[in-house]
Amino acid sequence: MSFCIKIREVAKNKKSNIILALDFPFDKPENRDKLYIKAEHVLEAVNPYVCAVKINHHLVLPLGLFDGVQKLVKKAHDKGLMTIMDCKVNDIGSTNQVIAEYYYAAGFDALIANPFIGWEEGLKPIFDVAHKLERGVILLVYMSHKGTSEGYGQTIVDPEKGVKTMQYAVFAKKALKYKVDGVVVGATYPEKIKEVHEILEGEIPIYAPGIGAQGGEIKTAIEAGARYLIVGRAITLAENPAGSAKEIRNFAWPE
């Protein structure tokens, strides 16, 4: 069963399209044990209201991949959640292959990759590993921060048609060609979500980060075509993470 189908089933069973971005601000390395306890506490509290957990370098760097992070991945699986590594793979093929192998070996169900590196000796080794292990690959199409237009929003010449187009539109078309498990489009740019959704024709789910702290809105993101909402600081830094996650889930889940 593909990652795309698995997370759809988990979302249906959990009645949640919320993905927890388990990110925390920098803390002193000597406080890594406290950081792990904090991450474990949030995961334990909010798991009834989310369908997956996304982990970034915020935890991998201080806790270690095969130490604290692998334990958190297992705990997420024990709670019936899917896990995504937000490593934004972006290197040459041989390095990408090793990166993918390590993250999948740690238990992650999917990882996020950057399409700027191209297919041959770029993305292809990642997909080869993912297909072999029956894991997922999610492609960046348009990020959530203000400077994303400098890269993903560039006007380029379509290499196939020879006409001017937007970089993110080409990436969306490549997502269809590569048969990815999902694409990332920032919730802070609902107009981009809508445009990408039209290109994908509903065949590939859109993951929308940037809800809450970055200004992305649940209603507009979903109406534009996002299927999953990635929420971090609005939950992890809340006084009551479980209450915040429940409130966001109740507002976001389509009845």
Q: Which of 252, 241, 255 is nearest to 22 (CA)?
A: 241
pLDDT of residue 225: 95
In whole angstroms, what is the distance from residue 139 CA to residue 127 CA?
Answer: 11
Domain range for 114: 3-252
pLDDT of residue 153: 86
pLDDT of residue 199: 96
In whole angstroms, what is the distance from residue 117 CA to residue 184 CA?
Answer: 16
Catalytic residues: 88
In whole angstroms, what is the distance from residue 178 CA to residue 173 CA?
Answer: 9
Q: Are 224 and 202 contacting, i.e. CB atoms less than 8 angstroms apart? A: no
CATH number for the domain including 231?
Answer: 3.20.20.70
User: 106: exposed, middle or buried (C-beta count within 10 Å: 0-12, 13-18, 19+)?
Assistant: buried
Which residues of the chain fall below pLDDT 50? none
Q: Are 125 and 90 contacting, i.e. CB atoms less than 8 angstroms apart? A: no
In whole angstroms, what is the distance from residue 45 CA to residue 148 CA?
Answer: 33
CA distances (Å), origin 153, targets 108, 149, 189:
30, 4, 11
pLDDT of residue 227: 96
Q: Which two tokens stand for residue 137?
A: 């690959």
Number of folded domains that form the chain: 1
In whole angstroms, what is the distance from residue 65 CA to residue 71 CA?
Answer: 9
Question: Which residue carries 């709670």 as its tokens?
Answer: 79
| Helical H segments across 134-207, by residue range | 167-178, 190-200
